[in-house]
Structure 1
Amino acid sequence: MTKRMVIMLVCVGVLFGAIFGWKAFVNHMMTGFFDNMPMPVANVSTAEATRDEWALSLDAVGTVEAVNGVEVTSQVGGEVAAIEFTSGDQVKKGDLLVRLESRADQAQLKALQATAQLAAQEYDRYQRLFKQGSISQSELDSRRAQRDQSMAQADAQRQQLSYKTIRAPFDGVLGIRRVDIGQYLQPGTPVVSLAQLDPIFVNFALPEQTLSKIETGLTARASLDAYPDQKFEGTITAIEPGVNETTRNVTIQASFENADQRMRPGMFANVTIQLPQSEPVVVIPRTAVAYAPYGNAVFVIQDAPAKEGEQTEQQSEDGAGKIVRKRFVKLGRQRGDLVVVESGLEPGEIIATSGLLKLRNDAPVAIENDVQPSAEATPEPANS
């Protein structure tokens, strides 16, 4: 290797070393600049964690069921002669729904009635003959049996004829008809559904551990996905006497007034049972919670550490000199805009209720409570 080549390599090494050194120096200076740059002050609204008394409640999911609900069917076979209802009609018990072809049955009934009438007349005549001593007791008994048999056959045919008219078994609302005029119905063929909607039941299950807390007469509130802004209030009317051996749950039934028929059989219902007992709780607005998969947290407002030569009492003037500290909390029940904090926060502590996305530990904040998020335990639909 020549001397000139060595000199070139040394120069190249020095050049690259200078470049990398300069880059490292610049990065170091930039890191120091950003590390020492003060964090921007975030404007937040605040609320105080307060102690309250909340009535105990139990939550469950259930299904809406009709007090009475059936598929109206044909008891006998026959051709549909007339349909006397419209799908969705409100009907009373005994209202005529479908009429089957019955001319042959009516003729058969007339024949049996005539036979029964003749048998009755024969029996009356034989009674007179028996009183005169013209016939024996056995002959009279035979005529009585013939009369009774003829009358029973006429009654059976009359009952069979009544099955040719299909009627509503109770008051309720009809579904969509499933038969057409001229269609031949086999016995048991569904004609239309019928449901009694007012009142209406909601059946749900609770763990067996809750049996000591529930009783008939307690208030039950239900919410439906179809009407998210409306609460339906009812009463527990029945408790299953036994506990399911598989799930260890007990079935509860609550009755609800349903004059507007908004609650329909088969609907999914979220049910809350109001218990007579209450418990002390610590509550905060739900807007104060930073929800995350790894844990829910709040940002607690604290005084910023006093800098050397500054007066701490001056730092808190107009909400200045405040920082936030992130603290993980365990949440409990919710009611309206409020949520229970089971652990991690004490009553009286001040927390941020807005601007959470721009907050981090030790971030400086300025308090502005001119506009506050809703924080009501029982909000109206416009606030919920």
Structure 2
Amino acid sequence: MRTASQLVIVAALAAVGAGWVAYGDRLGLPDLGNLIGVQPAANGAPRAGGQGARVQVATAPVRQAPVVERVESIGTARAREAVTVTSRVSGIVVAINFTEGQAVAAGDVLIELDRSQQVAAHDRARAAADDARTRLNRARQLRATQAVAEAQIDQLEAALRQAEAQVREAAARIEEMKIIAPFSGRVGLRQVSLGALIQPGTVVTTLDDLSRLRVEFAIPEVFVARLSAGQRVGATSPAYGERRFEGVVTVIDTRIDPATRTVRAIAEFDNPDESLKPGLFLNIALTLAERPSALLVPEEAIDPVGDRAFVFAVRNGRAVRQEVKLGTRVRGEVEVLDGIAPDEQVVVRGLQRLRDGVPVNVVDVLRRPVS
């Protein structure tokens, strides 16, 4: 019974060893010969230490390519200038001088209100001013004969100034009966009709300057030191598919939001065809840095150990373990900031069996397409 148990154990160990040898490499297990201190010799006999055997590996070259470091956010577009056009006075609409969606210039008259009463008041004021001016001129002519006192002339001059002020006030009231575009832009939907009696504050339409749009977005505070006005910003919207809009950062807030730990920034986008509309949702990609000749290695070449990272570089037929400093990750590759040279070969397959200085046999060289 004891002999049978021993035979079962030996058979189980043999099966495990055979499976280890057959499938250990593809499962990433260490080489069984290295583990027990022997290597198969060229003639099939085991050899102690395994110093003469070469580990078969696949490598990839360290390549140089441009890398753009970005941080992403979301924002909402709004017009550089936007206003809700309202009336300042009461009146009846007698003319509407725009169509919905029309481009208008600064100073264009959008709405005219009935101004007959204001015109009449202006005519009365002008008549009163003319009369005051005539009386003053007559008094000045009589000054030489001393028929008019100087005090009376002073009173007539004051009366003329008052009458002229009333003329200007009446002219201003006439102008109030016109609703004028404060800046160039595009009007929105019309909210009033001909003959309508409107009151102060009644909404007439909206006016937006769409030639250049502003987008406000938030960036995590860890990037504050790297933010500056003039940085390039890319924006996309589900409404326009793959189309990309280019803008620049113009304003960075002076405060960090203590609740979200973010800082707000504003970017401006040229909008010559007015594709961007106020209120449009945008995905923002802010460019923090551009490196035209960055060093890139495949992600699978990285051997992380805690908070450190290593690669195995193939030098003179041996695997050299090299600590590297990593940067941005780009589509299956990692930027190496320090620790490796351009065009070196790094191991991407067979890392599990490598130690520093182990002889290697490169059986495959992987080349990635240039992006």
- Aligned CA distance change for structure 1 residues 248 and 127 (closer, same or farther; 3 Å): farther
User: Matches of 2:61 and 2:92 in 1, distance apart?
Assistant: 73
**Which residue of the other structure, out of 126, 136, 157, is the alignment partner of 1:123?**
136
**Aligned residue pair count:** 267
Give how far 1:122 is off.
Answer: 1.5
**Which residue of the other structure, out of 66, 71, 79, is the alignment partner of 1:66?**
79
- Aligned CA distance change for structure 1 residues 154 and 191 (closer, same or farther; 3 Å): same
**Which residue of the other structure, out of 216, 219, 222, is the alignment partner of 1:209?**
222
User: Matches of 1:340 and 1:62 in 2, distance apart?
Assistant: 29
**Which residue of the other structure, out of 91, 97, 116, is the alignment partner of 1:84?**
97
Give how far 1:250 is off.
Answer: 2.1
Q: CA RMSD in A?
A: 3.6
* 1:227 is aligned to 2:226: no
User: Matches of 2:257 and 2:142 in 1, distance apart?
Assistant: 71
Give how far 1:121 is off.
Answer: 1.6
Please list, as runs of the form range in 1=range in 2, the aligned pairs for 1:151-162 lying within 5 A after superposition.
151-162=164-175
2:213 aligns to what SS in structure 1? Answer: strand
User: Matches of 1:89 and 1:207 in 2, distance apart?
Assistant: 40
The residue that corresponds to 1:249 in the other structure is 262
Name the TM-score, length of structure 1 as normaliser: 0.61
- Whether contact under 8 Å (1:208, 1:248) holds in the other structure is yes
1:234 aligns to what SS in structure 2? Answer: strand
- Whether contact under 8 Å (1:333, 1:339) holds in the other structure is no
**Which residue of the other structure, out of 91, 94, 110, is the alignment partner of 2:123?**
110
- Whether contact under 8 Å (1:62, 1:271) holds in the other structure is yes
Give how far 1:96 is off.
Answer: 1.7
User: Matches of 1:334 and 1:115 in 2, distance apart?
Assistant: 82
Give how far 1:270 is off.
Answer: 1.1
Give how far 1:375 is off.
Answer: 8.1
Give how far 1:87 is off.
Answer: 0.4
Please list, as runs of the form range in 1=range in 2, the aligned pairs for 1:188-203 lying within 5 A after superposition.
188-203=201-216
Paired AA for residue 221 in structure 1: G
* 1:349 is aligned to 2:348: yes
User: Runs of 4 or more off by more than 4 Å in structure 1?
Assistant: 48-53, 277-285, 332-335, 339-342, 374-377
User: Matches of 2:67 and 2:200 in 1, distance apart?
Assistant: 57
- Whether contact under 8 Å (1:49, 1:349) holds in the other structure is no
Structure 2: which 5+ residue stretches go unaligned?
1-59, 301-326, 336-344, 350-367
The residue that corresponds to 1:132 in the other structure is 145
Q: Deviations over 1:289-332 (max 9, x none)?
A: xxxxxxxxxxxxxxxxxxxxxxxxxxxxxxxxxxxxxxxxxxx9
* 1:147 is aligned to 2:146: no
* % identical equivalent positions: 30
1:212 aligns to what SS in structure 2? Answer: helix
